[in-house]
Structure 1
Amino acid sequence: MKYKPPKLMTFPKDEPITVEVLTKFMEKHKLEVARYEYLKNMYRGIMSIYDEPTKDPWKPDNRLAVNFTKYIVDTFTGYFNGIPVKKSHSDKEILTKLQEFDNLNDMEDEESELAKMACIYGRAFELLYQDEETRTNVIYNTPENIFMVYDDTIKQEPLFAVRYGYDDDYKLYGEVYTKETTYALNGTMGFYNMTEQAPNPFDDLPVVEFYFNEERMSIFESVISLVNAFNKAISEKANDVDYFSDQYLVFMGAEIDEEDAKNIKDNRLINYYDKNQNNQSGSASKV
């Protein structure tokens, strides 16, 4: 797969956000999803070596994958976030509220997952929302079903975010988050409605993007070709070992039964004999 890190999506801050505008950005996002899927599979150990052409049944066909990508992500995340972030405040009441917020949202796990996702995909998102008891909650989200659009000014500040998906009937659903309002999406792609759902209870956009570099590149994206080459090399080396370890049984001077020789390639057997020879005695040796 040829890698093209995603470009920052921008839109004029004073223009209205319409269904046509959302459809355009969703189409752009869909082009990025294939890349996110590939990066996720690399982390899970589903490598390109498994997509190599299948060899003939009698040939060794090892498919070995060393998951360097997972090692890179887990090691970096461990060093970066192995010790949870410590928070302090001179006001005990505010510190108590911070601790309650952390406990409610299990922030240690939240921060760890955000760091891991940013390593894998190059970016990750955190969504803020109010629960039934009007408590502020946060939840991490992969970039596979959410994206953010920035304004086209020199500051490129967050303008709006879209989180969407499809149900079992392939109907579109989701939300559009702006600084003022949250809109609901319902319908099918290209034929959906955007209806006002609720005012934004926060002072800013309730979606935060996390990333390690401006290019939004995965932490292992620059070495993917090396990982794939390594997997191919050790797989072929294992094939070579299998080739040399294969031994053929050679029958010389005597014809063996057709039933015994019908799977010569699978049984690694070679038969040499002279049809005109009357003496049917023969010899066998391994080579």
Structure 2
Amino acid sequence: MQDYVLSGRPILHHANSNDGSSGLSENIAITDDDVFLYNKDIGDVGIAGHLDDVKQIINYHENYLVPKYKLKHDYYIGRHHKITSLPEKPLNKPDNRLTFNLPKKLVSTFNGYFSGEPVVIKHQSDNSQTDDDALNGKIQAWLNANDYGDVFSEWSKQADIYGRSYLYLYEVGILSRESDEVQTQLKMAVCSPRDTIVVYDDSIEHNPVFAIRYSTGAARQYGELITKDAVYQFDTMASGDAQGSLIVTNADRNDPDRVVKSDMLNFPALPVIELAEDSDRAGLFDDSINLIDAIDNVMSSKGNDNDTFNESYLVITGDELDDKQIEMLQGSHVINIYPKQKTAINTNDGKVTPSAAFLSPDPHDEAKENFLNRAIDMVYQTSQVVNLNDANFGMSAQSISGVALLQRYQPMQARARVKSHKMDKALRQMFAILFKQWSENANPNDLTFDHKQSIPHNMLEEAQTVKTLDGQVSDVTKLGYLSRIDDPAAEVERLKEENKEVIDEAKVNVDQYVTDQQKKAGVGDGGAHDSAGTTTDSTTNKSGQPDRPAK
């Protein structure tokens, strides 16, 4: 089973009848990680004139790759082929078919860790002509309008299951309420590798040149051939050909260049973007399926043992039971063994000594438990996913040091880091298309992507570290030790602003206090207050005449 699921040709040739050629033309090649390469001299410009090659790619994909993807999906949802396809037990013996759905557990754990919090996307450019704040606001508004958190999570999850997944950018016309004009907006949707193919050129860069989205009906294949310049609708039913040739339905079939009258695009890159799980495009549990099958088998065997114990046979030897005795034991499983002639064997004074005991198999339960623990641990180690149900992981994160937490998460961090690089590359391709549609003078290479993996942190230990570093390092470096702070430099600026506001407020209060005291003392109001509360003019003498300057 595992040999069949892995990318490339199986070692056991009977598992896949693919002889290596499978009717592909000389323009088409397929790599060990099941990626189609196409002649770069033809590329996406002339692919509409080579529909026979497109049909060959579809047929190969449908016959050899789709069954693998379907098997992976079945294992993910809990339909495990090996245990369910075993022959039935004879004689109505217990026949449990228990599936321990580790594939879904692995995918849910890793995808929740990798994309539980949406990636933070920001544009930071040295170009003074680019308003980063305005552009970032526009980017975030578009992402929110497309529910990017859910879309990216599904994109990532499908890559975990199949080893790859696709994001399709397409244009829709929306009627503007202000101008009553139809405005074109860019939308995105996740496409499964079970019905979507991205074909790359055979150059050293392996640039994506065209994509195929198709469906198969009764003797019919129909769908879309997508390039960066146009979307070609095709349908084998339109040809009327017994061979089922592909015919483009939204272009003049007599036109050798297959010029599409509608569905024209003006994208700088292919709008179908692949997210690979890793460079091998291997799913999260591809190389653990044999272990998962073995776990299912042992779990089912333990279930059968329990049923067998509940239906143990009572074995009575040495004497024959009469019909009345057997009737009294109805509902029990009884085996009656007795000699036809009573001999002196096992006798006491010539009488046969009967015996009774329950017949139960040896369950070897300890050996099975040891195997299960080892096999489950190997599945998690192979997939590089942390087993959150491990007994050693049961203690609170607050009681585990930060170093110990990072060590436990290190394998999954390494896998997530590789996948984040793949996603960053795919997102830059997506934003190159988006900036072109917006007519923005922005460079996708100026984008930064911050992947917030869900790692528990020992907050008390972090706070103690920050307190210890107080006065020894800069505030930015010090706050960098707090995992809850995303941008230490911005946090320092916010702290300065808050302190400035506190100082300004205190200054205002002091000035107000001084003013109030001055008013009470009569300072600055042109007069002085005596103890009786009457005002005297400081510019007059005792005789009531104004003071004269001294000569």
User: TM-score band (shorter)?
Assistant: 0.7 to 0.9
Partner of 1:243: 308
- Structure 1 letter corresponding to 2:86: E
Moved more, 187-196 or 28-37: 187-196
Q: CA deviation at 1:209?
A: 0.3
Q: Is residue 2:235 matched to residue 1:186?
A: yes
CA deviation string 1:252-277 (max 9, x = no partner): 534438xx7xxx9x962334579999
Q: Using a 3 Å threshold, how does the CA distance of structure 1 residues 78 and 71 change in structure 2: closer, same or farther?
A: same
Q: Are the equivalent residues in 2 in contact too, given 1:9–1:149 (CA < 8 A)?
A: yes
Partner of 2:37: 10
Q: Are the equivalent residues in 2 in contact too, given 1:256–1:271 (CA < 8 A)?
A: no
Partner of 2:323: 256
Q: Is residue 2:222 matched to residue 1:173?
A: yes
SS of the residue corresponding to residue 49 of structure 1 reads: helix
Partner of 1:149: 199
Partner of 1:280: none
Partner of 1:41: 74
**Using the alignment, how far apart are the partners of 1:187 and 1:58 within structure 2?**
50
- Structure 2 letter corresponding to 1:218: G
Q: CA deviation at 1:113?
A: 0.3
CA deviation string 1:102-160 (max 9, x = no partner): 12210000000011000000000000101122110000011000001100001111011
CA deviation string 1:179-210 (max 9, x = no partner): 22211111247323024352123221110000
Moved more, 248-257 or 137-146: 248-257
SS of the residue corresponding to residue 173 of structure 2 reads: coil
Q: Are the equivalent residues in 2 in contact too, given 1:248–1:268 (CA < 8 A)?
A: yes
SS of the residue corresponding to residue 83 of structure 1 reads: coil
Partner of 2:168: 127
Q: Are the equivalent residues in 1 in contact too, given 2:6–2:287 (CA < 8 A)?
A: no
Q: Are the equivalent residues in 2 in contact too, given 1:255–1:271 (CA < 8 A)?
A: no
Partner of 1:68: 102
Q: Are the equivalent residues in 1 in contact too, given 2:107–2:284 (CA < 8 A)?
A: yes
SS of the residue corresponding to residue 121 of structure 2 reads: coil
**Using the alignment, how far apart are the partners of 1:267 and 1:25 within structure 2?**
63
Q: CA deviation at 1:166?
A: 2.8
Q: Using a 3 Å threshold, how does the CA distance of structure 1 residues 13 and 241 change in structure 2: closer, same or farther?
A: same
**Using the alignment, how far apart are the partners of 2:246 and 2:332 within structure 1?**
62
Partner of 1:28: 60
- Structure 2 letter corresponding to 1:20: D
Instruction: Select the structure that is richer in strand.
Output: 1
Q: Are the equivalent residues in 2 in contact too, given 1:254–1:272 (CA < 8 A)?
A: no
Q: CA deviation at 1:100?
A: 2.1
- Structure 1 letter corresponding to 2:266: P
- Structure 1 letter corresponding to 2:70: E
Q: Are the equivalent residues in 2 in contact too, given 1:254–1:274 (CA < 8 A)?
A: no
Q: Are the equivalent residues in 2 in contact too, given 1:174–1:184 (CA < 8 A)?
A: yes
**Using the alignment, how far apart are the partners of 1:43 and 1:107 within structure 2?**
24
**Using the alignment, how far apart are the partners of 1:120 and 1:129 within structure 2?**
24
Moved more, 125-134 or 179-188: 179-188
- Structure 1 letter corresponding to 2:57: F
SS of the residue corresponding to residue 263 of structure 2 reads: strand
**Using the alignment, how far apart are the partners of 1:223 and 1:55 within structure 2?**
27
Q: Using a 3 Å threshold, how does the CA distance of structure 1 residues 51 and 226 change in structure 2: closer, same or farther?
A: same
Which structure exhibits the higher relative contact order, with contacts defined as CA atoms closer than 8 Å and separated by 6 or more residues?
1
Could you tell me which runs of 5 or more consecutive residues in structure 1 were left unpaired when the two chains were aligned: 278-282
**Using the alignment, how far apart are the partners of 1:29 and 1:211 within structure 2?**
17
SS of the residue corresponding to residue 198 of structure 1 reads: coil
CA deviation string 1:238-259 (max 9, x = no partner): 22333334222457534438xx
Q: CA deviation at 1:215?
A: 1.5
**Using the alignment, how far apart are the partners of 2:72 and 2:332 within structure 1?**
41
What TM-score do the two structures reach when normalised by structure 2?
0.47
SS of the residue corresponding to residue 199 of structure 1 reads: coil
> Which residue of 284, 287, 293 maps to 1:219?
284
Q: Is residue 2:270 matched to residue 1:229?
A: no
SS of the residue corresponding to residue 87 of structure 2 reads: coil
**Using the alignment, how far apart are the partners of 2:231 and 2:165 within structure 1?**
20
Partner of 2:523: none
CA deviation string 1:215-247 (max 9, x = no partner): 211011111111111111221122233333422
Q: Are the equivalent residues in 2 in contact too, given 1:10–1:151 (CA < 8 A)?
A: yes
SS of the residue corresponding to residue 145 of structure 2 reads: helix
- Structure 2 letter corresponding to 1:21: D
- Structure 2 letter corresponding to 1:136: L
Q: Is residue 2:141 matched to residue 1:107?
A: no
**Using the alignment, how far apart are the partners of 1:225 and 1:98 within structure 2?**
44
Q: CA deviation at 1:87?
A: 2.4
Task: State the superposition RMSD in angstroms.
Answer: 2.7
> Which residue of 100, 120, 136 maps to 1:86?
120
Tell me the matched-pair count. Answer: 277
Could you tell me which runs of 5 or more consecutive residues in structure 2 were left unpaired when the two chains were aligned: 8-32, 124-130, 175-183, 238-242, 252-259, 343-353, 359-551
What TM-score do the two structures reach when normalised by structure 1?
0.86
> Which residue of 187, 209, 212 maps to 1:137?
187
Q: CA deviation at 1:285?
A: 6.0
